[in-house]
Homo-oligomer: A and B are copies of this chain.
Amino acid sequence: MQDLLQICVKRLKERGLRLTAERRAILRSMLRHRRHFDPEGLLNELRRDGVRVSRATVYRTLGHLTDTGLLRRYDLGDRQTLYEISVGREHHEHLICTRCGMIFEFVHDEIERLQDEVCHRFRFEPIHHSLQIYGVCAECSRLEPGSRSARDRRKAVEDTPDRARHA
Contacts and interface: CB of A to CB of B under 8 A. Distances in A.
Given A75-B78, A95-B124, A133 B114 contact: no
Interface in A109-127: 110-111, 114-115, 118-119, 122-127
Interface size class of A (residues with CB under 8 A): 35 or more
Contact of A126 (B122, B127, B135): B135
Contact of A138 (B77, B122, B130, B137): B122
A115 B124 contact: no
A136 B125 contact: yes
B98 A123 contact: no
A138 B124 contact: yes
A110 B123 CA distance: 20
A155 interface: no
Interface in A85-101: 93, 95, 97-98
Instruction: Pick the 5 closest A-B CB pairs, nearest first.
Output: A75-B77, A123-B138, A126-B135, A129-B133, A127-B135
Interface of A: 75-78, 93, 95, 97-98, 104, 106, 108, 110-111, 114-115, 118-119, 122-138, 141
